Structure 1
């Protein structure tokens, strides 16, 4: 990212922490949660790597096609999973956005990190609208609701509100990265 490095490092920390928590969620006893957590961990760590400030590290040119390939494969997996769960549609949009950002960075002459190219303004705008709406909706879903009597305490890795908070964090990170594109 160009500009002050502090926001870039904060975004790296947010995405890496989210990715680490998602790795821990992969130990859940709930199969669907384990599957979703793997894709979310990949997104978190991928976003953290892409957000490293350019003043600290400029990745080699081969990095961007590698990102596009990894997230393209993740997009195909999300597309396959979308037939059974609508949540995979969000993963599909997220992985497609990562492929898009990697392609834009690869196509940016002389620049191999955030801020190098504008991409296609229409695609960037559509992704910004989607992720901004997702962030607002996810934030509203985090508003506490009444606890049903008799529900047992879930393990901290199985708590749905923490999973939603992670998804919210990654949505915020995606908005920040798209704005810097």
Structure 2
């Protein structure tokens, strides 16, 4: 990632912390939540690795190709899983965007100091930016608390790994990170 060094390190920290929390969410008793948390952990850690400032570490071309293969495979898995629900379409968009950015980084000339992108990339980058900016606004609005009836209705509180508002906060932070990464393309 190119840009201000402090912003890049903040993005690395945000994505790594999100990935770590998603790993902890994998302890949920609900299988679908475990699978979703695993996919989100992969995204969080992958985004953290890709956001490391280029001035610190410049990965070789093969590393970008490896990222493209990993996230391409994850995109295919999300495409297959999307038959079961619309949430997987968001995972598909995220993993596709990660594979796209990895391919763009692998395709850039070795002497070029800014992100290189394949031809036609400004349109695709713009579409991804619009999607993720909209997702950030939508998911941020969903975090606004809703009044709960007094007494709780006798429903036990979910475990910390099964709390939907924490999962939404993770997705929001990864959406913000994705917008920041796409802006550097």
2:2–2:53 Cα contact (<8 Å) kept = yes
Report the 3-state secondary structure (helix = DSSP H, G, I; strand = E; otherwise coil) of the residue aligned with 2:61. Answer: coil
TM-score, with structure 2 as normaliser: 0.93
Q: Which residue of 2 aligns with 1:117?
A: 116
Over 3 Å off, 4+ runs? none
Q: Following TM superposition, by how much is the alpha carbon of 1:153 offset from its aligned partner in structure 2, in angstroms?
A: 1.6
2:105–2:117 Cα contact (<8 Å) kept = no
* Bigger Rg, which one: 2
How is 1:27-176 mapped onto 2 (pairs within 5 angstroms)? Answer: 27-110=27-110, 115-119=114-118, 120-148=121-149, 149-150=152-153, 151-176=155-180
TM-score, with structure 1 as normaliser: 0.95
Alignment coverage as a number of residue pairs: 180
Backbone CA RMSD of aligned residues:
1.4
Q: Following TM superposition, by how much is the alpha carbon of 1:121 offset from its aligned partner in structure 2, in angstroms?
A: 0.5
Report the 3-state secondary structure (helix = DSSP H, G, I; strand = E; otherwise coil) of the residue aligned with 2:76. Answer: helix
Equivalent-residue separation in structure 1 for 2:157 and 2:102 (angstroms): 41
Q: Following TM superposition, by how much is the alpha carbon of 1:3 offset from its aligned partner in structure 2, in angstroms?
A: 3.1
Q: Following TM superposition, by how much is the alpha carbon of 1:147 offset from its aligned partner in structure 2, in angstroms?
A: 2.0
Q: Following TM superposition, by how much is the alpha carbon of 1:122 offset from its aligned partner in structure 2, in angstroms?
A: 0.3
Change (3 A) 1:64 1:138: same
Gap regions ≥5 residues in structure 2: none
